[in-house]
Amino acid sequence: MTSQNSSEVRVRFAPSPTGYLHVGGARTALYNYLFAKKNGGKFILRIEDTDEARSTEESLRGVVDDLAWLGLKWDEGVDPVTLKDFGPYGPYRQSERLEIYKKYAEQLLKDGKAYYCFLTDAEIEKQREENKAAGNFHVNSPYQDWSLDKALEHIKAGNSAVVRFKTKGLQKDYILHDLVRGEVKFPSDMVGDFVLLRSGGMPVYNFCCVVDDYLMKMTHIFRAEEHLPNTLRQLMIYQGLGWAAPQFGHISLILDEDRQKLSKRKGAVACGILKQEGYLNSAVLNYIALLGWSHPEEKEILSVDEMIKAFDISRLNPSGAIFDRVKFKWMNSMHLRALPNTELWQAIQPYLAKENMQLPQDPTWQDKSLNLFKPYMEILADAVELYRPLDDKSYAILPEADETLKWEPTKAVLTAWSDLVKAHPGDYMSEEEFLKYQDEVKNKTGAKGKNLFMPIRVAVIGKPHGAELKILVPLLKKSSLVARAEQALSKT
């Protein structure tokens, strides 16, 4: 067999642009990336877009943008900005490699390893019905022993054909030394003669993969467990072309809490949606890395550099990994709280801007507010409800405050509170000053418990229940507190 003759580690992530980038795909890309970087190799992005009906430029743009957002920089493939090729082994889009596949299909035809098959869909369906009882249906083509010349004459006469790979005469069993699963045995009679090229000339997945992985000099293929059944056909094609196969590693599936394959049904699994919801790319990478791999020191909070340093395929677990959304959110909170306040403020801006919030632009105020709110944030989107009470135009006396405003002590409490705020000498009061004023209102009015706290809360946030006032009040300007107190008083 022809060897790859490559000492350099070369791995690839090869998405189909038929939808969004799923967290399972992102994890496959990450493991390939980590393996390449750990071994001083190359990480390649190849686009498998031969599904003409479902592949779109919009999906390709989305997948590339998500990979770029995650920070998984590839060394060859399609450019993240222009989507044009860069690297020595292009084209990197399979739809632009059709002549290459045709060339190798013709080689297999010439060598008698493949043949033109003229069976119609109706004839194949009839065979399937007749063989239903057998359970394991294989196409029995009467054309497998036709000479190439005879088949070409038949095509010339206007008949359409697929190109099938001929499995007759190949070795009985195939042994795969899987880098994750150990020895996997494939009996060759698992598959019948399978299609390489459809009648329109479009190649099928397994054929494209083999040709591209060989010509692009891939040394290792890490992919999801669900691709394991494809491996036998691919090993046969490698044998038919006389090529050495790369090393394969099939990583575990990602499962939901009910141990079913992860799906949209139970929440966001698209990287783009996770980004919109306010998950950090560093947290996404950290969490998905640990779905099927573990750090040798069992560390949980990891940077990409720490992952690269510790990554070893011997620690890849073949068992299904549970996607725990609660733990994922916790991990995001750990990464979020580790951000410098200046970075975190920039990160929450799109969420605040979407709600048209008007907040102080003073960096000192921003820093102070984040020091107070950080412990309550798990995802960036949490900033919206935390900051909403600080936006003057969002302040309103809500219906749930009606009962509190009718209480007998409320007017006196609000009047005392308003007078103290107006007399405060500075633009902002400290937490200590707020607690002192609260005690003074209590002493002046005799109100205590909910008769004290709830009216003040209505005067600050418009409702009797909510965030702790000692956190909010120091972030509100004196003029805002006065205006809110007067609005509440007007309702008593």
Q: Tell me: the pLDDT tens digits for 101-119?
A: 999 999 999 999 999 999 9
Indicate the CATH number for domain 341-489. 1.10.10.350
Encode pLDDT of 129-166 as tens digits. Answer: 888 776 768 899 999 999 999 999 999 999 999 999 99
pLDDT per position as a tens digit, 9-50:
999 999 999 889 999 999 999 999 999 999 999 999 999 998
Do residues 71 and 349 make contact, with C-beta atoms less than 8 angstroms apart?
A: no
Q: Name 77's bridge partners.
A: 86
Question: In degrees rounded to 5, what are phi and psi of residue 290?
Answer: -85, 5
Quote the pLDDT of residue 52. 81
pLDDT at 266 over 70: no
Residue 239 has pLDDT above 90, yes or no: yes
pLDDT digits (tens, 9 = 90+) for 58-103: 999 999 999 999 999 999 999 999 999 999 999 999 999 999 999 9
Give the model's pLDDT for residue 260. Answer: 83
For 440-470, the pLDDT digits (tens) are: 999 999 999 999 999 999 999 999 998 889 9
- Confirm if 327 and 288 have CB atoms less than 8 A apart: no
Domain boundaries, the chain: 341-489
* pLDDT tens, position by position, 42-58: 999 999 998 888 889 99
Going by C-alpha positions, the residue among 5, 207, 221 that lies closest to residue 100 is: 207
Asked if residues 341 and 367 have their Cβ atoms less than 8 Å apart, the reply is yes
pLDDT at 128 over 70: yes
pLDDT of 394 over the 70 cut: yes
Neighbour count for residue 309 (Cβ, 10 Å): 13
Q: How far apart are the C-alpha atoms of 297 and 397, rounded to whole Å?
A: 53
Residue 267 pLDDT greater than 90, yes or no: no
Q: Give the pLDDT band of residue 6 (cuts 50, 70, 90).
A: low
Annotated catalytic residues are 264
Cis peptide before 80 (omega within 30 of 0): no
Residue 467: the pLDDT is 81
Whole-angstrom distance, CA of residue 116 vs CA of residue 160:
9
User: Which range among 120-134, 340-354, 384-398 shows the weakest confidence by mean pLDDT?
Assistant: 120-134
**What residue has token string 């035809």?**
109
Determine contact, residues 253/224, Cβ cutoff 8 Å. Answer: yes
For residue 258, what pLDDT band results from cuts at 50, 70 and 90? confident
Average pLDDT of span 335-359: 96
With a cut of 80, say whether residue 434 has pLDDT above it: yes
Pairwise CA distance, residues 471 & 480, whole Å: 15
Q: What percent of the chain has pLDDT over 70?
A: 97
Cα–Cα dist 429/477, whole Å:
8
CB atoms within 10 A of CB 169: 8
For the segment 160-212, what is each residue's pLDDT rounded down to a tens digit?
Answer: 999 999 998 887 789 999 999 999 999 888 899 999 999 989 999 999 999 99
- Does position 485 have pLDDT exceeding 90, yes or no? yes
Beta bridge partners of 250: 223
List the Cα angle 472/474/475 in 5-degree steps: 65
pTM of the model: 0.91
Nearest to 387 by CA among 377, 396, 399: 377
Lowest-confidence pick of 266-280, 290-304, 390-404: 266-280
- Return the closest-CA partner of residue 192 out of 131, 101, 126: 131
pLDDT at 4 over 70: no
The whole-number pLDDT of residue 211 equals 98
239 Cβ neighbours under 8 A, 6+ residues apart: 1, 170, 171
- DSSP result, 159-171: ---EEEE--TTS-
Predicted pLDDT at 131: 82
Mean of the per-residue pLDDT values of the chain: 94
pLDDT at 2 over 60: no
Q: What percent of the chain has pLDDT over 90?
A: 87
Nearest to 78 by CA among 70, 88, 87: 87
Look at residue 292 in the predicted model and tell me its pLDDT: 96
